[in-house]
Structure 1
Amino acid sequence: MMNQGNTDTPDRQELFLGTLGDPVGIPVIAVSYPQGVAFAGTAGLTVTITTDTVAEVRQTENVIAESRYGNADNVVMTGAHLDSVPAGPGINDNGTGSAGILETALQARNLKTKNKLRFAWWGAEEANLVGSTFYVNSLSEADHAKIKLYLNFDMIGSPNYTFGVYDGDDSAATGAGPGPAGSAQIEQVFLKFFAARKQATAASDFTGRSDYGPFIGTGIPAGGLFTGAEVEKTADDVTKWGGIAGVAYDPCYHQACDSFTPERDGADKAVYAQLRKKYKLVGNVNTFALDTNADAVATAVATFAQDISSIPPRPAAAAARSAPAAVDVHGHAHF
């Protein structure tokens, strides 16, 4: 497996941990993009590789909490992935999203909401959305129908941030297209929030790279926030949010320096010196971006906790889902 090379950032050029999704019966090797190009461009090439590989099944967990109050037939679900890549601790990816929804849950614990609130911290997102996919696929048809919408928060404090809002109606007309019916209405809640703060937003495509994927794939409307990863900030972005053009939204994306001490852990010191002149950073987290997005998280959760009338009803699932034997897919920890 060769890296994809779609940008010049190290994450898309260098050696990487490829994701297969399921076990396979042969060794799998990853190579950098330049090495892959060299292999592909050499006629009659024969390569001999010696590997020391391990294939094993590992266990992970989803952490799910549900409110005491609210109509159990109308579930407003909010999620963020709890894991990071093996390369680093993931202070931004996804410590920010996990912390943002945790604080919202803590603040909401005594609210007598009209609708049921459910919060999920997903396991093994970086290994191909394993935790969220298992959860959604394990729902019965009845339980699936009770989830009226899903809010996803993956990286909401990128140091060279953008205020990305998932493009529920595909108004940007790029990428994967709109989300299921109701996704546009979720997007509008976030756009209204940022407009009130006089903050510009960017349309973030449903690329399938985060835990909303299994939800929208089965017809559940979704929305959320994303402050950017390996893509470089443009000059137009700088006019909207400040920062540094030509530098990734998160220069430490999927690296060891996504930490509380990025420079010590390998970040470009010159880049982070510039970022610290323009923004207040705590480690690899932009505090303004995180604080603003945390308020947006709380606003959306509180809005739908009381009123989901804007979300249109959806057709019943085509086939019932059943949980595997001896597995508790919910694991609710009641507040």
Structure 2
Amino acid sequence: MPERNHVVAVVGPTASGKSSLALRIAQRLGTAEVVNADSMQLYRGMDIGTAKPSIEERALLPHHLFDVLDVTEDASVAEFQQQARTVIADRHARGVTPVLVGGSALYVRAVLDRLDFPGTDPAVRLWWAGELERRGHEALHAELARRDPAAAAQILPTNGRRIVRALEVGELTGRPFVASMPPLESIYDDLTMLGLDVPRDVLEPRLSDRVDQMWADGFVDEVRGLLPAGIEGSLTASRALGYQQILGFLRGEMTEDEARVATVTGTRKFARRQDRLFRKDPRVHWLPSGADDLLERAMSLVAPR
């Protein structure tokens, strides 16, 4: 396996069991390490609400690109692309198989595919950031939908940073934000993509249970503890699912129960969107997440052919 310069990617909606499967695959391979492709798991201190692998799990074998940003820093997919590809190149040079895992479709594609990011203009970005502050997320998302419906369909109305970026790119290039997305063609010759398939009637109750467990594990206290670190002033971290809702509760804008319910609703919408985006990729081998022989099915695809 090591000489193949192989990359394994495990994708799918939130709460489908991606992290667990990626770890088990890496352990079975022996010479393998996990590489994060979840945009919110990049942040230090955002553990419960992102369902980040535990310290104990990460101690079993090397995990990369977890806890690399402070909550005041903006996650940049272009910077992440460079970092992840450097990690992968280094693993290959040492005969190690990288197992990429995450539910952020753009971040996964940024690592795997021939995806180049348009340049930026600070003045244009600043203007749109000002419009975001003045008009609010919903109104600016509606503006994006008028200008670039395809981009708006892929960006959550709460994700102000990506809305601003899409509008900036459209203004700079004169083309839709997603027009520059390349074909589904990897830069790696030997790629295995595995997707975890969870029926909606199974996934949605699981998502609700997961949010309840996060609350029981101290999610509210986690967010409260990030206030001194500056999470409220972050354009990215403060908009993460659950964190945004709990911050609203802590500001007195809603009750704690309303924050929890809003988190469940938002997570269900996000999971449907994740699944829809990954389903468009014909390279993904879909596996039933609840199968007793899930690991064996995965290894039959990952093992040398």
What is the TM-score normalised by the length of structure 2? 0.30
More strand by percentage: 1
What is the TM-score normalised by the length of structure 1? 0.27
Higher RCO (C-alpha 8 Å, min separation 6): 2
More helix by percentage: 2
